[in-house]
Amino acid sequence: MNRMKLYAAGAFLVLVLALTNPSQEDFVTWVKGKAYEKTDNPGARFLTDLLASPLVSATTQRTNLLICSLYDTKFSPDKHRKTLGVLRFFIPLEK
């Protein structure tokens, strides 16, 4: 009986992780929010609204691992940043 409860708890955890795996759109929204935090300039915020979505979408590769996602954003051929998305949260992995 205890083994059955353990399997049920594991299955529930996997289900929760899969249902809260953030999408590419969630990642773009998170990046825009981070950019907003760095400026109070209305002009810069306007440019962020205008350019962030297409720019981040075009330069980011998402690897969907079902229970989480890895995002690799390339700024140039030799400079990139990896981010882990899990439970609708984002954790930068490299700087």
Statement: residue 74 has pLDDT above 70: yes
Residues 14-62: tens digit of each pLDDT: 999 999 999 999 999 999 999 888 888 888 888 888 888 899 999 999 9
pLDDT of residue 95: 63
74: CB partners within 8 A, 6+ apart: 59, 60, 61, 80
**pTM of the model as a whole:** 0.86
Residues 62-90: what's their mean pLDDT?
Answer: 94
The domain ranges of the chain are: 2-92
Structure tokens at 39: 């400026």
Per-residue DSSP letter, 67: S
